[in-house]
Amino acid sequence: MSSTASGKNGTWRNWGGNVVTRPAREVTPASVDELAEALRRAAEDGMKVKAVGTGHSFTSIAATDGVLIRPQLLTGIRKIDRDDMTVTVEAGTPLKRLNLALAREGLSLTNMGDIMEQTVSGATSTGTHGTGRESASIAAQLKGLELVTADGSVLVCSEKENPEVFAAARIGLGALGVVTALTFAVEPVFLLTAREEPMPFDKVLAEFDELWAENEHFEFYWFPHTGSTNTKRNNRSAGPAEPVSQVAGWIEDELLSNGVFQVAQWVGRAAPATIPAIARLSSKALSARTYTDIPYKVYTSPRRVRFVEMEYAVPREAVTETLRELRTMIDGSGLRISFPIEVRTAPADDITLSTASGRDSAYIAVHMVKGTPYQGYFTAAERIFTAYEGRPHWGKVHTRDAEYFAGVYPRFEEFTALRDRLDPDRLFQNDYLRRVLGT
């Protein structure tokens, strides 16, 4: 086991650069036994413990000044069960590695988020999701998980075994224990046809219900200060596969979505007055395109421009109203927003603290480029989201606390009671959990 820290002089920082923490020690366990031992030692030494993934959360959910558990040795596929159509993976496995391994085996997850840099347990524990009419978050595709609790015991959880723990620990916020393995439902690999095309903002809002109902996966990006959006519809396809050519892919995904976008962000930071003009250009630069490929190549895309993000789930029926209010706020605020607003959906699920728990949801994500002051924009947006009983993504910037969550999550007390049972001494406590779950 190592105790070296990443970053300079023992500091750990997240991807967005807005969370920096100095753990007293770092542990990189190579087995479940080593992890359990590390938890026992931390408890004896009176230290708190947090497990960390790749740091793609913008909140301080993984921050600790105690013991930081690094997952990079707990990776790889444990088992593929073709009868049950499940795959069990170690918690530290990056989604990218899982997707590549599944594709080689002729298998796929049903739905994914839009990036695949995160570890499987980091992504599921914070409720990472894509967009979908029937299929939703990555955690909603879990069939089982293995959890090491505060006293070092290993709990195997599924709908049949420890079902009350399974209900909560799929999106456990790192509050119930350290997840060491996850079992996902998978299916034979399939093809998706993606249709990307610009569409006026008002048209998308007017036809949102139809666009949602007619597509398995619908999402759109709206460019503030413009009446333009870029829509994306992903639907299953009989084929043949027609991937984006390497040259076109480089132009669209790297040059426009990352390269030109990065330059636009730099210009916007230097001269905020130019942002509306840049936004109009950006919204016109992306032309319509259609391509067909295996799922992870359609769902995910590279994100090289560093940013900070807030995302709220609102009831799906309130999404167009929420977006209209957001537009009115931006237009009247004097804010200059250079980053598109992303809108996705998810069906209701049965996970205790899932942002879609018990209700069909739409997600609205606002971003600011790393290093720009985001508080004014995010505060104004959050005021609108919370008026609709919005639930913030656990890994993205928000200011809500336990009192608020008790009001928007009907099963909130079920989660906190389970936490009292599994971690009575708060081994896994940190400032973020103190705020969102209460003391």
Summarised one tens digit per residue, pLDDT across range 204-231 is: 999 999 999 999 999 999 999 999 999 9
Mean pLDDT check: name the lowest of 29-38, 233-242, 296-305.
296-305
Summarised one tens digit per residue, pLDDT across range 312-351 is: 999 999 999 999 999 999 999 989 898 899 999 999 999 9
Summarised one tens digit per residue, pLDDT across range 66-107 is: 999 999 999 999 999 999 999 999 999 999 999 999 999 999
pLDDT beyond 90 at 237: yes
Average pLDDT over residues 23-38: 96
Q: What is the pLDDT of residue 418?
A: 98
User: Is 78 strand, coil or helix?
Assistant: strand
Q: Are 38 and 1 in contact (CB under 8 A)?
A: yes
Hey, which residues does 221 pair with through a beta bridge? 230, 342
DSSP string, 269-284: HH-GGGHHHHHHHHHH
Q: What is the pLDDT of residue 246?
A: 63
Query: By percentage, how much of the chain surpasses pLDDT 70?
Result: 88
Query: By percentage, how much of the chain surpasses pLDDT 90?
Result: 79
Cα(102)–Cα(372) distance, rounded to whole angstroms?
Answer: 38
pLDDT beyond 60 at 247: no
Average pLDDT over residues 305-311: 89
Q: Where are the beta strands (DSSP E) in 170-296?
A: 178-185, 187-188, 191-200, 217-222, 228-237, 289-293
Question: Which residues, including other chains, have CB under 8 Å from residue 81's CB and lie 6 or more apart?
Answer: 87, 88
pLDDT beyond 60 at 258: no
Q: pTM to 2 decimals?
A: 0.91
pLDDT tier, 305 (very low <50, low <70, confident <90, very high otherwise): confident
Summarised one tens digit per residue, pLDDT across range 151-204 is: 999 999 999 999 999 999 999 999 999 999 999 999 999 999 999 999 999 999
Cα(192)–Cα(173) distance, rounded to whole angstroms?
Answer: 31
Number of C-beta neighbours around residue 322 at 10 A:
21
Q: What is the pLDDT of residue 439?
A: 84
Number of C-beta neighbours around residue 34 at 10 A:
15
Q: Measured between alpha carbons, how far is residue 314 from residues 187, 317, 361, 366, 385 in Å?
A: 30, 8, 6, 14, 7
Q: What is the pLDDT of residue 94?
A: 96
**Residue reference for tokens 């001494």:** 425
Q: Measured between alpha carbons, how far is residue 240 from residues 110, 111, 190, 193 in Å?
A: 19, 20, 11, 10
Summarised one tens digit per residue, pLDDT across range 262-289 is: 666 666 666 777 667 666 666 666 678 8
Q: Are 399 and 382 in contact (CB under 8 A)?
A: yes
Mean pLDDT check: name the lowest of 129-143, 300-314, 404-418.
300-314
Q: Is the peptide bond before 188 cis (omega within 30 degrees of 0)?
A: no
Q: What is the pLDDT of residue 2?
A: 34
- H/E element, 417: helix 412-422
